Structure 1
């Protein structure tokens, strides 16, 4: 019987050895019961809570089970699938529908046994009660840190954190302090004051965002797209700039169907007021002016229930690209992302910030046409004799990474090796501070021993990788390149990432003239300036052309 193994640990503070232990327990069970598990059917989620629905490893397991790639799924215990009783029972029902048996080794539960239903229900209830208890303990711990003046994880624009207290090593050999405390970031604090002052002086939020983007003012996390209305609205509502770092104002509840969190207000009696005079950035007079103007605007301009006509599709919120050019193009006016907009047919690409009225670049590009031009140009360049030879020389390495199971193990071992190297460095830094003890010396020796063993394992696996795959014939490679569009569309995510790596970011710059509006596109390295294609536009929706003779006013897409 073919089977798959699923393993998970929930916190970065837990040992990664937990994954190996779970897999070992499941493999031992397989050996005792003549069950076969290939390396390709071991699914893991590292440092992810069991309450989350959208775990990459769990989603891959679900997809493989639906495709009938195995007949059973093994877990160390049912809590590895989910701590939520509802989610866990849903997964059990899905596996039953797929006709895939679920085996929980430590619980002694097999889903197709007659008496398994009661056992599954009981384990699910126990796991959910454990999760509730863990939430309460975590909340108490964070509240204690907060009352002692330490940070509880807040990342607010205008502030930064610094470590305080005694330096010590945790169980993983990482240097840790007693806690982190907030302090004012002078550069960011000036930006916060500017935002409040401009809004109090009757500037609109849209206008403030536009000015900040034009000045290339950095955001807290250097967000893609720069400053926008949502970010500025949150800043203008944040009482922390008044020194009010209140605790337990809201609590998170999770949608049982989607797994998404939502913050809801707590009752007044549950809130913990905390005042930090040393963290005041905005004076009360400015704050009151801002609040009064917000109230006046809210009364004058009620929120419309209708969506804006010029509004991006929802595809831009996904973490993985849905289209070939997803994440590849940028607006040269504001630095924001060029995303797929609503429109007829396959849609149009345009500046995301223009939809939020924080950028004046409202030009649109037909998606289908720009994809055709890019693929046509790529194909012509790839099918030269020189490039075909280059592709052939490199395809063995690429194919081996895609089809051989060994590279994934190499990657995992390399990651373990790098972490041990960091652990060794932490020990050495700890010793340099004068903290020499027998326990530290023994731990350092053990870490160095593990490092040497992992280095040998990686070397052995690298040898297996280089000698376990044969290169496909040149005819096959050429055929795939000739059908480039079909090849790229088979896996949009991988293809989009490959195009991004190959072309680099493409910057779209509108060129305004008396007659027409144009786009000028740039890509890659400035040293190799080369015309790519041209386009002509008499209206704001650009009709991209690849023949410069079709118009005197044309758009150049250049790769540099």
Structure 2
């Protein structure tokens, strides 16, 4: 009986200590103080009260660590995975949490629990305490975390601790939501949908005969998986898919990518974007100070420095101290600079001419030919010569325009037919067939030229000229063939956009 009474009193004492500790922590949080270990990006703030004792629980931003936190958020918003971010940080020898190596879980954390760097609301100046409580499991002697209801949370705004701005925080949350939806609505293994595509068109290639996926069958060659596995298809009456047509990965990617510059530079899309860029740049240039205003500001600064030095010389003379040659030399230099600025201000200057020169240079940089060359070169290097981290935003952009590509079989050795579904199809459907084919031809030849140049094949001017002449001759022949070609556009099924057949 005595042992039972002692155990009861001991448990009651523990509960009282627990309650008082948590109440003390709650009061500290409401005062803006830290009650737990410091998160990355912060350091202890040394402040003392009237008695000279250090005030505990105060935090301040560690600028070096804060730069790392901002970089992590920006990388994730740009499409880089937490695993790749952790690898980059470890490669740079950046110290991780508590001095250990970086792990993707420390960055990713848990969205609903508010753990991990990407979910820490302290970085936006908002401290949330008491999200969870911990109890010991009497059987395993291990702590078990339990989530508290939102009404029990203690929330305090601390703007002095903000590291991440609202715009970047919103981008990260939007990407987390997008990836979360992939986990929530996948009918098979939920992890499969969240995997990044290995190639530009991975997962969106479809067989025209059975509707099954096209996947890599051999080295860089796509084929119908149902045909390879000889699986009976219900839509084919239990028969196996007979589409044995395969296609090289570079071939299908070339044919899809060749349509992108043609779409962007036609139908007024380029003009609309160029006008928006010009309006933005004109407003920016007009808001910048003119050359005359810059000279006046510089002249005022020089004159103020002269006054300060003269005051120092006068002060030394009053005190009976000897004059310094360094101050005299500096004063002479400032006087020479002031005379030059005064002369420049007296010269007539045409602010409008300066602005017009900048605008003319900007227009030269945004003409269709220059943009076309940049886009073509960018597509070539991004697809074949960039690393995964650089390629990922480019792949995401293309997959927003292309919903799926349906591959159909053709007799003999003829190239497979491609039917493109997505936003890009609606743009291509309104263009003339000859225009599309010519733009595709130019892009493919441009990529061929870059590949030959990279390999060192075009080492002389004569070889380059001969190759360009061959391209021009082939284009003139193709134009005659394209005069009577008509494009084929079909309506997509259900809510899909129009489909365009290449």
Normalization by structure 1: what TM-score?
0.31
Structure with max Cα Rg: 2
Bigger share in strand: 1
Higher relative contact order (CA 8 A, sep 6+): 2
Normalization by structure 2: what TM-score?
0.34
Bigger share in helix: 2
